[in-house]
Amino acid sequence: MKKWIWLMLLMLMAVAVVGSRGSTFLEQRPSPAIVERIPVKTRQPQAELKEVDSAPQVSTDRLLNHIQKLNFQRYTTKERSLTRTYITTELTKFGWKPKLEKFSEGVNIFAERPGTDKAAKAILVAAHYDTVALSPGADDNASGVAVVLEVARLLGSRSTPRTLQIAFFDQEEAGLLGSQAFVSKTARLQNLGGAIVMDMVGYACYTPGCQKYPAALPVIPPSNKGDFLAVVGDTEHLPLLNAFQSSQMLPSTALNKQESNLPAVLTVPIPFKGLLTPDTLRSDHAPFWYQGVGAVLVTDTANLRTPHYHQPSDVPATIERSFFTGSAQIVVNATTALLDKNKVLQTQPPS
């Protein structure tokens, strides 16, 4: 029995491969331009390269434009109000009707597009829009905001069985206050099947050793380069996490194009709602876990990879175009697949 317990503890330590939050996991050079460095070289099995016509392709230009427009500190009350104006204006352009949801410390933004099956539960795609003081937060978390806006543009008028919900959380950096306020409205959780939360999805590094991992990791890391996208989910909702394992399918219009080169995806299942791995509770997915709602955190691993975490140097110039575009496409692919199906997202016991 003692041997079994030690083996279980080692397995639980292994899931600490990714810490995420803080915003979350993760400084900056005053260059306004977004540049492309070494492109992601993703080694994908041949089966993962087949065409997927159902998922629309993201626009690199639109994604990067959002980050440029949000290239300012979003910390004070006025700055966060300006950010909300930008987000709601963009959503209105895409045909959405965003609502401002005030709570004691801030304001969340919420909108939804009903699905065709009233019995099907909704999928929420979300990101926080605030920053820490003195940081313009290009990666943390304008990158996540940009992906949610792209999801809203591409999937807002799409007819799917499930309802698509989008949210932009305020005051994540102050302690997940916006997402906590969001889940406090228990009535809305009754029809929520799962949440996809983006927090820092635009930074990659290709120098060996640039990717860090928790100490005493009892497994061989997938890479010593920061060239993969991490998806952290709770073991109680593995189908939600598994949707990202098949998310590297390429749209037929994107085959053989450099901009469609998707990064590898590392899925990290977390047991016991992160009780034994507190580093995995550092972002807006955690309040959903506490309410029994399946949620995944999509991240570039933040401070485990980028030197610009919570720094004035987290500027648009540090965003890696190819990785960022691929990360956004993976989120769109997974979201599309989840919306098009009405499968139970809770982990089912073995038959």
DSSP sequence for 97-137: --EEEEETTEEEEEEEE--S-TTSPEEEEEEE----TT---
Rounded CA gap, 1 and 200, in Å? Answer: 41
* pLDDT at residue 102 in the model: 98
Distance (Å) of CA 169 to CA 80, 127, 144, 225, 266: 11, 6, 11, 30, 25
- 235-246 burial, b for 16+ CB within 10 Å, e for fewer? ebbbbbbbbbee
Task: Return the exposure string of 186-222: e unless at least 16 CB atoms fall within 10 Å of the residue's CB, then b.
Answer: eeebeebbbbbbbbbbbbbbbeeebbebeeeeeeeee
The rounded distance, in Å, linking the Cα atoms of 9 and 16 is 11
**What's the whole-model pTM score?**
0.85
pLDDT less than 50: residues of the chain: 1-32, 35, 38-52, 218, 254-259
pLDDT for position 28: 33
pLDDT at residue number 292: 95
Contact 109, 100 (CB under 8 A): yes
Among residues 22, 235, 16, 4, the alpha carbon closest in space to that of 141 is found at: 22
Sheet holding 164-169, edge to edge: 99-103, 106-113, 164-169, 122-128, 192-198, 295-299, 228-234, 264-270
Residue 204: what pLDDT?
A: 98
CB 14 within 8 A of CB 216: no
